[in-house]
Amino acid sequence: MPSSANDRPPLKRVVKPRGRLTGLLLYVVLTGMAVCLLSGHARAQVVEAAVDCAIQSGSCTKNLGGGTVTLDISPRPVRAMHDLTFTVTFSGIEPAHDPVIDLAMPGMIMGPNRVVLKRAGETTYQGTGVIVRCPSGRRTWKATVTLPDTGSAEFIFDVVY
Amino acid sequence: MVGFGHCVGMCGPIAVSLSLSLRAGKVLLPHLLYHAGRITTYALLGAVVGLTGSFTAVTGRIVGIQRGVMIFAGVLIILMGLAMIGWIPLGRIFTDSFRPFGFLSRAFQRLNAACSRGAYYPAGVVLGLLPCGPVYTALVAAARAGMESGEPLQGMFTGSWLMMAFGLGTVPALLLVGRLASLGWLTRREVIYRLSSILMIALGVYFIVKAVRF
């Protein structure tokens, strides 16, 4: 049995420096992967969402099924971290179920944030919700209006902090 | 999923900083205490929004505190980074040979001797107030659940349980990051500590800048 470092087989003295280098490289790679791939901020920079709804100026309309859906948010300006009223109006569609709105930040997982809508007119639905604030400073949000059995329409807009 | 996607990016630097500051020591217990502190704060916030049924009424009152916590977190990470490479004698403050302010240094010495690892729990309680999108989203859900429960007391418990479950869900991802950063599996760590110290200082500055802009 070897009794000191000098008595150890040569193979162990050769392996040690390679083990350190391997460990260092592995650390750098894993850390880089963790920061770049798992970071929601990094992915947000990769997935750029174009704003297609000037919600601060007025309502927005999109095609849905064989008709259209109009989204309005009040009060204006539309601010994050404030109670907001979401109004959805359908045209050319006879809703058989209550629609819902899912709020999300494009390219960043923020968790489910659903606004439940109730009928407020023949083809109008309303509900209250909150657009939360992201410490990253990004202000672009997406509201997906889903009418069961018909489809979904996405509205991408900027909020005010 | 939210934990792996968002929390690693936002709170991962704190978990890494905690691990690096512990050097080659055992990291599991301090991390668990830190996360227990975070979850305590989440549960308390969930109880309050569940009781009131309002997310905005509660968060509107703590935004100033949250900005302060972000600055505190940034300063803490910078100090930890500077202390790790010996640029500030933070360790000497807690030894018998350094008594600049008498009562203050004796208090620090007792705290350090008695519960140096237990301090991670109150650190987690404070840092649980860091502003965070997914936390806000979970609080919105807790407030809604509280409102729908009908009874304020039931709403309080519902909100608290909801936020505790959310907090528990964020633990695996951050524990994994903290464990990877502990470097216990590396045979030579000093070079990494120096590089990590610089990274920690940069991250601390980043936190402070974000707090100012928040």
Q: Do B9 and A42 touch (CB under 8 A)?
A: yes
A112 and chain B in contact, CB less than 8 A: yes
DSSP code of residue A134: P
B136 and chain A in contact, CB less than 8 A: yes
For an interface test with A, give the residue of B132, B137, B177, B196 to mutate (most A CBs within 10 A). Answer: B137
**Token code pair at residue B102:** 């008498």
Spatial CB neighbours of B149, under 8 Å, sequence gap ≥ 6: B50, B155, B158
pLDDT at B10 over 70: no
What pLDDT sits at residue A13? Answer: 45
Q: Do A81 and B59 touch (CB under 8 A)?
A: yes
Distance from CA of B132 to the nearest CA of A (A): 6
**B163 or B99: which leads in pLDDT:** B163
Write out the residue range of the structural domain in which residue B202 sits: 2-213
Q: Do A31 and B140 touch (CB under 8 A)?
A: no
**Token code pair at residue B201:** 């200082």
Distance from CA of B43 to the nearest CA of A (A): 17
What pLDDT sits at residue A25? Answer: 53
pLDDT at B56 over 80: yes
pLDDT at B199 over 70: yes
**Token code pair at residue B4:** 């792996």
Least confident interval from A138-152, B114-128, B187-201? B187-201
Of A16, A24, A134, nearest to B133 by CB-CB distance is: A134
DSSP code of residue A7: G
Q: How far apart are CA B6 and CA B36, in angstroms?
A: 19
Of A39, A130, A133, nearest to B9 by CB-CB distance is: A39
pLDDT at B160 over 80: yes
Residue of A52, A22, A45, A36 lying closest to A138 (CA atoms): A45
**What is the mean predicted confidence (pLDDT) over B61-69?**
87
Residue of A74, A126, A121 lying closest to A99 (CA atoms): A126
Predicted structure pTM score:
0.74
Segments of A19-161 assigned E as strands: 60-64, 67-74, 83-91, 100-104, 114-116, 118-119, 124-130, 140-147, 151-158
Residue of B161, B172, B122 lying closest to B42 (CA atoms): B161
B6 and chain A in contact, CB less than 8 A: yes
**A30 or B28: which leads in pLDDT:** B28
Of A34, A82, A109, nearest to B6 by CB-CB distance is: A109
In chain B, the number of structural domains is 1
Q: Note the ipTM here.
A: 0.73
pLDDT-based confidence at residue A39 (cuts at 50, 70, 90): low
Closest-CA residue of B relative to A30 is: B180
Give the model confidence (pLDDT) of A111-131 as tens digits.
899 999 999 999 999 999 999
Which helix (H) or strand (E) segment is B13 a member of? helix B12-21
pLDDT at B105 over 60: no
pLDDT at A93 over 80: yes
**B4 or B129: which leads in pLDDT:** B129
CATH class of A60-158: mainly beta
Count of A–B CB contacts within 8 Å? 101
For all residues of chain B together, what is the average pLDDT? 77
What pLDDT sits at residue B176? Answer: 79
Q: Do A130 and B140 touch (CB under 8 A)?
A: yes
